[in-house]
A and B are shown apart, each in its own frame.
Chain A
Amino acid sequence: MSTATTHTAEHPAGEYHGGLLRWLTTTNHKDIGTMYLTFSLIMFFVGGLMILAVRAELFSPGLQLMQPEFFNQLIGVHALVMIFAALMPAATGFANWMLPLMIGAPDMALPRLNNWGFWLLPPAAILLTLPFTLALFGIGDGALATGWTFYAPLSVQGGMGVDFAILAVHILGISSIMGSINIIVTIFNMRAPGMTMMKLPLFAWGWLITAFLLIATLPVLAGAVTMLLTDRHFGTHFFDAAGGGDPILFQHLFWFFGHPEVYILLLPVWGLMPHVLSTFSRKPTYGYKAQVYSFIAIGLLSVVVWAHHFFTAGMPVPALVYFMFSTMAISLPLAVLFFCWIATMWKGAMTFETPMLFAVGFIVLFGIAGLTGLILADVAADAQYHHSYFVVAHFHYALFAGGIMGVMTGVYYWLPKWTGHMYSEKLGKLHFWLTVVSFNLTFLPQFFLGLAGMPRRIPDYALQFAEFNAISTLGAFVLGFSQLLFAWNIWSCVRGGPKVESRVWEGAEGLEWELPSPPPHHTWEIQPVIK
């Protein structure tokens, strides 16, 4: 065994600061992964509390708890927090923790960039939520009330909460781009000898496509909100019809980012699923190449379908037809993924530990998101469902059942590896069942509300919608409070619990399971060689 001095020069052993300074200055991928995941969990609860207030208001018709302006602010900031400050950092946390372990790299390729990428997040989150606090002291009129989409001309006319959100989105975007660059270069340049691209773990493939999507689309969002800022304060008229501008241009620019963003949130989870399914089915992943090519196809298709988000804004018929069929085409590679996931389980020696429960729950519920997405992709049907609760239910099946439950799958799968302790399986399973039941209780009624014509983003509604709204609110509160079990289980596992082996799960395969649990601060100083 030869000496491995290289990256210990980057992170000199025994020269770590203690306390807060350690976390401020760390360049270690595991520390940064932990910070991303902790930040994500905190913001998950912040965004969750906002939407519980919204659901409380919607429990019955009429205005009970808040004014419509505040209601709108809560909805918009809830979405921005959940997307940019909870889901995306969770996926980046996974990447930081696991990519170097999975590909046999000693760390991320650009460790300092990694540290910057994380530490941009807290100020951005503060900027997003600060206007609520300022309004309490009579400063400004609260957070942005435009919904997370910033649609012009409302956002051109809105209060200073819009400026705060524009600045926050710029910072969050810079953070994500830094993370993406780091992930791409790490995958390309830091792989262990013998790990060719077609031997790359599927989690790494999912993240690679995600990172390229972020590089391609986030600058467009940044450009759009910069133009919005100049419209608001510097006399330009990009989106102001009164000055010859075009509000629909904003929708095009926003959704050129916004639709790939859906896949940015989901691809890391799709990459994780085969690992979990294969582990608990005790079978190799079915259709590795098919899944890689599906990831690439979905990534490519995701940037050419954006206008299905605003069919009703009006566009030429050929454009409607093109965006309808291109959107539907995404279901083909997605169906390939579903078949591969199911085939991986087929005739396997399956056991249902907590991560597997979440993975199977993910497949079923995310399947509903896919099928209802096909309905919304249909131009004629969309004319009725657009801006209704049907859309709200659809994207929560995609982003909660697909995104957040996917993240929970990953946490339950890798937490024993990270901490060296096993969590309470009993609590994990209870968390799963409470989550699945209350999630459906919350969002299944919203499909019917949408079909019956209830529009989204309103604090008051007609009496005919009362029962389904009451059920949905009850479900949301159970869903929200059952997440405390998740936090408690993680906390208990970090503090202690039964020790686990290197290979935490019997059927787990991959480089990461050859390392001790928890892995030492520096890993793969000696290169693993992949055969």
Chain B
Amino acid sequence: MTPAFTDADLARRRAASRRLGWLLGAVVLVIYLIGLFIKR
């Protein structure tokens, strides 16, 4: 259990998390907007 979370490693993990977070947020927005085009 010796290696620490280095600055670089944690920064890389957080950057990857932010990218995936934005992507998931975009998916949410797309699903939400699809509702406006539903045909009755």
Contact flag A109-B17 (CB < 8 Å), given A215-B27, A245-B40: yes
Which of A72-80, A91-99, A121-129, A221-229 binds B? A221-229
Contacts of B9 in A (CB 8 A): 6
Contacts of B33 in A (CB 8 A): 223
Interface string of B12-39 (1 = CB under 8 A from A): 0110111011001101110111111010
Q: Are A219 and B32 in contact, CB atoms less than 8 angstroms apart?
A: yes
Contacts of A222 in B (CB 8 A): 32
Contact flag A109-B13 (CB < 8 Å), given A184-B20, A246-B40, A528-B1: yes
What total of chain B residues lie within 8 Å of the partner, measured CB to CB? 30
Q: Are B17 and A185 in contact, CB atoms less than 8 angstroms apart?
A: yes
Whose C-beta in chain A lies nearest to the C-beta of B32? A219
A9 nearest CB across to chain B (Å): 8
Total of A-B residue pairs, C-beta within 8 Å = 107
Please tell me if A218 contacts chain B, counting CB pairs below 8 Å: yes
Q: How far is the CA of A186 from the CA of B27 in the complex (A)?
A: 18
Summarize A's interface: helix, strand, loop or mixed. helix
Q: Are B28 and A110 in contact, CB atoms less than 8 angstroms apart?
A: no
Please tell me if A67 contacts chain B, counting CB pairs below 8 Å: no
Q: Are B4 and A190 in contact, CB atoms less than 8 angstroms apart?
A: no
Q: How far is the CA of A58 from the CA of B34 in the complex (A)?
A: 43
Contacts of A184 in B (CB 8 A): 20, 24
B10 nearest CB across to chain A (Å): 4
Q: Are A6 and B24 in contact, CB atoms less than 8 angstroms apart?
A: no
Q: How far is the CA of A182 from the CA of B11 in the complex (A)?
A: 16
Q: Are A181 and B21 in contact, CB atoms less than 8 angstroms apart?
A: yes
Please tell me if A4 contacts chain B, counting CB pairs below 8 Å: yes
Please tell me if A398 contacts chain B, counting CB pairs below 8 Å: no
Q: Are A526 and B3 in contact, CB atoms less than 8 angstroms apart?
A: yes
Q: How far is the CA of A106 from the CA of B10 in the complex (A)?
A: 9
Q: How far is the CA of A219 from the CA of B3 in the complex (A)?
A: 41
Interface string of A510-531 (1 = CB under 8 A from B): 0000000000000011111100
Contact flag A109-B29 (CB < 8 Å), given A6-B9, A527-B5: no
Contacts of A181 in B (CB 8 A): 20-21, 24-25
Q: How far is the CA of A218 from the CA of B31 in the complex (A)?
A: 9
A468 nearest CB across to chain B (Å): 42
B40 nearest CB across to chain A (Å): 5
Q: Are B31 and A4 in contact, CB atoms less than 8 angstroms apart?
A: no
Q: How far is the CA of A169 from the CA of B20 in the complex (A)?
A: 25
Q: Are A526 and B24 in contact, CB atoms less than 8 angstroms apart?
A: no
- Mark out the residues of chain A between 159 and 209 whose CB falls within 8 Å of any chain B CB in the assembled complex: 177, 180-182, 184-186, 188-190, 193
Q: Are A193 and B21 in contact, CB atoms less than 8 angstroms apart?
A: no
Q: How far is the CA of A524 from the CA of B13 in the complex (A)?
A: 15
Whose C-beta in chain B lies nearest to the C-beta of A514? B1
Contacts of A525 in B (CB 8 A): 4-5
Contact flag A224-B35 (CB < 8 Å), given A215-B28, A244-B40: yes
Q: Are B35 and A526 in contact, CB atoms less than 8 angstroms apart?
A: no
Whose C-beta in chain A lies nearest to the C-beta of B33? A223
Contacts of B14 in A (CB 8 A): 109-110, 189
Q: Are A220 and B35 in contact, CB atoms less than 8 angstroms apart?
A: yes
- Which single member of B2, B6, B17 contacts A189 (CB below 8 Å)? B17
Q: Are B20 and A188 in contact, CB atoms less than 8 angstroms apart?
A: yes
- Which single member of B4, B27, B31, B32 contacts A527 (CB below 8 Å)? B4
Q: Are A223 and B34 in contact, CB atoms less than 8 angstroms apart?
A: yes
Whose C-beta in chain A lies nearest to the C-beta of B24? A181
Q: How far is the CA of A185 from the CA of B17 in the complex (A)?
A: 5
Q: Are B5 and A106 in contact, CB atoms less than 8 angstroms apart?
A: yes
Q: How far is the CA of A220 from the CA of B40 in the complex (A)?
A: 16
Contacts of A177 in B (CB 8 A): 25, 28
Contacts of A109 in B (CB 8 A): 13-14, 17, 21
Contacts of A529 in B (CB 8 A): 1, 3
Q: Are B1 and A6 in contact, CB atoms less than 8 angstroms apart?
A: no
Q: How far is the CA of A524 from the CA of B4 in the complex (A)?
A: 8
Contact flag A6-B40 (CB < 8 Å), given A185-B20, A227-B35: no
Contacts of B2 in A (CB 8 A): 1-2, 526
- Mark out the residues of chain A between 322 and 367 whose CB falls within 8 Å of any chain B CB in the assembled complex: none
Contact flag A190-B13 (CB < 8 Å), given A184-B20, A246-B40: yes
Whose C-beta in chain B lies nearest to the C-beta of A227? B35
Please tell me if A113 contacts chain B, counting CB pairs below 8 Å: yes
A400 nearest CB across to chain B (Å): 30
Whose C-beta in chain B lies nearest to the C-beta of A226? B35
In this complex, the member of B17, B18, B33 whose beta carbon has the largest number of chain A beta carbons within 10 angstroms is B17
Interface string of A354-390 (1 = CB under 8 A from B): 0000000000000000000000000000000000000
Q: Are A189 and B16 in contact, CB atoms less than 8 angstroms apart?
A: yes
Q: Are A253 and B35 in contact, CB atoms less than 8 angstroms apart?
A: yes
Please tell me if A293 contacts chain B, counting CB pairs below 8 Å: no
Q: List 4 A-B pairs, minimum CB-CB distance, nearest first.
A: A223-B35, A109-B17, A4-B4, A185-B17
Task: List 10 A-B residue pairs with CB atoms under 8 Å apart, sorted by A's residue number.
Answer: A1-B2, A6-B10, A9-B7, A185-B17, A188-B16, A193-B3, A224-B35, A226-B32, A227-B36, A245-B40
- A110-B18, A226-B35, A525-B4 provided; 19 other pairs, C-beta below 8 A? A6-B4, A6-B5, A6-B9, A6-B11, A106-B10, A177-B25, A177-B28, A185-B20, A188-B16, A189-B13, A189-B16, A219-B28, A219-B29, A219-B35, A220-B32, A244-B40, A249-B40, A524-B5, A526-B1
